[in-house]
Amino acid sequence: MLGAVVIVAAVYGVSWIRQTLNTADDAFINGHVTLVAPRVRGQVARVVVDDNNRVHKGDLLVELDKEPFQEAVAVKKAAFDSAQADLAATKATVRGIGLHRRVGTLDNSVTRSPARHALKEAARWR
């Protein structure tokens, strides 16, 4: 009796195993898989393609969340504006120093001029 049970189980078991191994729920024929490397890091906001869509080089696959990039641009723009303001202030300071030197040079040239010397001598004799 035990032998008959083993034979029946083996016959049905082998056929069941063959059927299970030859069945595929998600089979593809001639499928190509290509790895995709991102150019930038970011959070995916939307996937543009669906499963099994054919894509070509340069096609848009996903859209990234724009907020982190917009924040980075705003920070860099603020730093740029601050640097421009610092540059304008430095230029004004340099112009002021140059003007002060020119006025000092003008004073020296006036004090050394003969007319200035004559005025000093006249004031001394009064």
Nearest of 54, 52, 57 to residue 37 by alpha carbon = 57
Q: Exposed/middle/buried for 97, CB within 10 Å: 0-12, 13-18, 19+?
A: exposed
Using one digit for the tens of pLDDT, what is the confidence trace for 51-95? Answer: 878 888 888 888 999 998 999 999 999 999 999 998 888 888 877
Residue 71: the pLDDT is: 92
Is 30 in contact with 42 (CB distance < 8 Å)?
A: no
CA torsion, points 88, 89, 93, 96, in degrees to nearest 10?
70
| CA-to-CA separations, 25 to 13, 14, 21, 53, 56, in angstroms, rounded | 21, 20, 11, 19, 28
* pLDDT average, residue stretch 97-122: 59
What confidence tier does 42 reach under pLDDT thresholds 50, 70, 90?
confident
pLDDT above 80 (res 102):
no
pLDDT above 60 (res 105):
no
Give dist(CA 78, CA 84) in Å, integer: 10
Nearest of 30, 63, 33, 37 to residue 51 by alpha carbon = 33
Rounded to the nearest integer, the mean pLDDT of the chain is 76
Q: Among the listed ranges 56-60, 96-100, 113-117, which one has the minimum average pLDDT value?
A: 113-117
